[in-house]
Each structure stands twice: as structure tokens, then as C-alpha cells.
């Protein structure tokens, strides 16, 4: 079965989990606290909305607790928002949702700059802490390898060295290929050393395949997941630089991935600018092709159980 998810924002209902503030104001708890409460309340709203529509996979935006990893953050957010997190934890358990977080390009554990390493670890610990507090089953903390610093072997060694022993991070961590520096084949190395799974981004792979076809990349990556594998899909925005995300998923990109998956289970994150609306678009496409009987027909067992949803 394929489950679809979407990242960070719901564009249909007015519930944002990304309210933030300027760094200049962060030491004022009276300002920060209500923003975090609002984000957490909106997360609950979004998850309930998702559940009503059969969406069980969602990525939480990094500014759920804005500046949580910054030294100036004024209080122990994990303790002081514990009631909210407990509510969410119960809800997520009841709904059976799978949640993820995906820190941005500033997180570079292999950086030669110790301050960047420390800030990166702080951000990763924060993200893992959120997933822990939500008791996220099969939660995933997705990370790119980051900069190559001109010497990939040494960079991979530093990356592994820095993260080895970070138990809470490693509990959720998955490593993702990117569109210009690290291929799936290269990501497999540190992932194996750390004992974490490899997340294939099909769009990044198309732009930066290295020596592997998509089926070969999946053959390497899917077995690294003990449960359901996660995969990212997106399409090229027309008339923009290579790698820019399109509003929706192009049918051809879905077909390529579906063919490569060849009936295997996966949770597919729809990385499109139109977020949840793009998810519904892809869902319609899948149902349409399912009804038509494509060149990659679903198995009979999947059809009977409402496989694609």
C-alpha cells in the first residue's frame, strides 16, 4: 500500500504551525510561550483534519517551537508545554499517524566549523525531542549530509563521528540523497555506519543519480528500513532553475516512481509547493490510473483492501 503525506503547511485551512518571531524578541517568554501554544494547537487541528481525509503521514515544520535550539531560548519548552505534547501524543496514538521532521540546509554536522557542528546538533536534538515527546511511532528525522568540503570521504567520516552516540537523534534519523552533492549510493555509507535508514528522494535522484537507476537506488535503500520505507517525490518547476519544486506532481514523475516501486509498500511525501492540494491531485491521478488499469497495475490484494489512498 502507498500512503501519501505532505509537509509542514496546510493550505486549505487557516491553521499554521509555523508562527514565529524575530530573534530580537526571543528572550521574552511572554511573547514566545503563546506562539508555541498556538503552533501546537494548530498541529492538533491539522492532524484531525488529515485523519478525516485519510492522510496519515505529515511532516512537522522546524519552527513548531521557534528558536528552540537557540541559546537565547528563554525556558524549558519540553517541560512547560508538556500538557500540550501529552494531548498530541494521545491523539497521534489514536489516529496512528506517522510524523517526521526535516531540519533545513543550515544543519551540517560534518562542518569543519565547530560552532556549526554544535548548532547542528542542537537543532537535531530539538527535532528528535519533539518526535520523542509526541511518542511518534516510526517517526523520522530526515537529514541531508550537507556540505562536501572538497573531500567526501573525510566528510562522511566526520559526519558519522559527530552523530555516533547521539541516541535520541539516531532513534529517528534517516539520511536523504540531495540534488547535487550526495547520491543515494554515497548516502548508504554513513547510513550503514550509523545504523539508520536511507530515504530516496526520487526528484533529487533524477538530478543527481550517480551510477544508479531509480530501481537500483530503491533496491539499495528500501531494505534499510525495518518498517515502511519513506520516499520523497516532487517535480521540476517549469522555467525555474533545476531542483526548484513545482506546484504539483507531474503524472510522469509519479509513474516513474510507481513503476520502480513495483507494488512495494511505501510512505510517499509529496514535496510540492501546493502541499496538501498537491497530495489530493496525486491521489486523484493514482485513483484514475488504478481505474484505467495502467502499465503498472496494482495487485488484486491491494485493490480489494483499497490499496491506494
Based on the shown chain and the rule CB under 7 A, indicate whether residue 19 belongs to the binding site for DNA.
yes
Selected binder of DNA within 45, 89, 132, 181 (CB under 7 A): 181
Q: Give the contact letters, 263-282, x = binds to DNA (CB under 7 A), - = no.
A: --------x-x---------
The DSSP letter of residue 63 is G
Query: Which lies closer to DNA via its Cβ, residue 75 or residue 297?
Result: 75
Buried b (16+ CB within 10 A) or exposed e, 222-243: bebbeebbbbbbbbbeeeeeee
Query: Which lies closer to DNA via its Cβ, residue 9 or residue 89?
Result: 9
Query: Which lies closer to DNA via its Cβ, residue 275 or residue 283?
Result: 275
Q: 56 is written with which cell numbers? A: 496519515
Interface stretch with DNA, choices 62-70, 214-222, 259-267, 277-285 (CB under 7 A): 62-70
Q: Which are the contacts of 284, defined by CB distance < 8 A and separation ≥ 6?
A: none
Query: Which lies closer to DNA via its Cβ, residue 34 or residue 215?
Result: 34
Interface stretch with DNA, choices 206-214, 236-244, 259-267, 301-309 (CB under 7 A): 236-244
16 φ, ψ to 5°? -105, 135
Nearest approach, Cβ of residue 91 and DNA (Å): 21
Residues numbered 84 to 143 that lie near DNA (CB under 7 A) are 104-108, 111-113, 115-116, 119, 123
Distance from C-alpha of 233 to C-alpha of 269, rounded to nearest angstrom: 6
Selected binder of DNA within 51, 95, 121, 148 (CB under 7 A): 148
293: exposed, middle or buried (Cβ count in 10 Å: 0-12, 13-18, 19+): exposed
What count of Cα atoms within 13 Å lies in the side-chain half-sphere of residue 283?
19
Selected binder of DNA within 5, 7, 190, 229 (CB under 7 A): 7
Distance from C-alpha of 37 to C-alpha of 17, rounded to nearest angstrom: 10
Based on the shown chain and the rule CB under 7 A, indicate whether residue 151 belongs to the binding site for DNA.
no
Contact between residue 124 and residue 143 where contact means Cβ atoms under 8 Å apart: yes
Nearest approach, Cβ of residue 22 and DNA (Å): 4
Selected binder of DNA within 69, 208, 224, 235 (CB under 7 A): 69
Nearest approach, Cβ of residue 241 and DNA (Å): 3
The DSSP letter of residue 62 is G
Distance from C-alpha of 6 to C-alpha of 198, rounded to nearest angstrom: 19
DSSP sequence for 222-257: GGG-SSS-EEEE--BPTTS-TTPBPSS--HHHHHHH
Distance from C-alpha of 220 to C-alpha of 184, rounded to nearest angstrom: 8
Nearest approach, Cβ of residue 132 and DNA (Å): 19
Based on the shown chain and the rule CB under 7 A, indicate whether residue 190 belongs to the binding site for DNA.
no
Site residues (vs DNA, CB under 7 A): 7-9, 16, 18-25, 35, 62-63, 66-67, 69-70, 104-108, 111-113, 115-116, 119, 123, 146-150, 180-181, 240-241, 243-245, 271, 273
Amino acid at each position: 500500500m502507498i500512503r501519501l503525506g505532505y509537509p509542514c503547511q496546510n493550505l486549505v485551512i487557516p491553521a499554521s504551525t509555523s508562527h514565529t518571531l524575530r530573534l530580537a524578541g526571543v528572550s521574552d517568554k511572554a511573547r514566545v510561550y503563546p506562539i508555541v501554544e498556538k503552533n501546537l494547537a494548530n498541529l492538533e487541528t491539522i492532524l484531525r483534519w488529515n485523519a478525516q481525509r485519510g492522510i496519515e503521514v505529515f511532516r512537522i515544520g522546524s519552527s513548531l517551537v521557534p528558536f528552540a535550539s537557540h541559546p537565547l531560548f528563554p525556558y524549558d519548552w519540553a517541560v512547560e508545554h508538556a500538557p500540550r505534547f501529552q494531548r498530541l501524543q494521545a491523539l497521534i496514538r489514536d489516529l496512528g499517524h506517522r510524523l517526521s521532521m526535516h531540519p533545513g540546509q543550515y544543519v551540517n554536522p560534518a562542518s569543519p566549523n565547530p560552532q556549526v557542528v554544535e548548532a547542528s546538533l542542537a537543532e537535531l536534538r530539538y527535532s528528535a525531542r519533539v518526535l520523542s515527546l509526541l511518542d511518534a511511532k516510526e517517526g523520522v528525522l530526515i537529514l541531508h549530509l550537507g556540505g562536501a568540503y572538497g573531500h567526501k570521504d573525510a566528510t562522511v567520516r566526520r559526519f558519522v563521528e559527530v552523530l555516533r552516540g547521539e541516541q535520541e537523534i539516531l532513534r529517528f534519523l534517516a539520511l536523504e540523497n540531495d540534488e547535487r552533492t550526495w547520491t543515494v549510493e554515497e548516502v548508504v555509507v554513513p547510513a550503514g555506519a550509523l545504523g539508520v535508514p536511507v530515504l530516496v528522494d526520487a526528484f533529487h535522484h533524477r538530478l543527481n543519480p550517480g551510477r544508479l537507476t531509480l530501481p537500483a537506488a530503491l533496491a539499495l535503500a528500501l531494505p534499510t528500513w525495518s518498517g515502511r520505507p519513506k520516499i520523497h517525490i516532487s517535480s521540476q518547476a517549469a522555467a525555474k532553475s533545476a531542483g526548484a519544486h513545482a506546484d504539483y506532481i507531474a503524472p510522469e514523475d509519479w509513474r516513474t516512481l510507481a513503476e520502480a516501486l513495483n507494488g512495494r509498500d511505501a510512505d510517499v511525501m509529496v514535496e510540492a509547493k501546493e502541499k496538501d492540494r498537491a497530495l489530493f491531485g496525486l491521489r486523484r491521478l493514482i485513483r484514475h490510473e488504478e481505474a484505467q488499469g495502467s502499465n503498472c497495475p496494482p495487485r488484486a490484494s491491494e485493490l480489494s483492501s483499497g490499496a491506494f489512498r
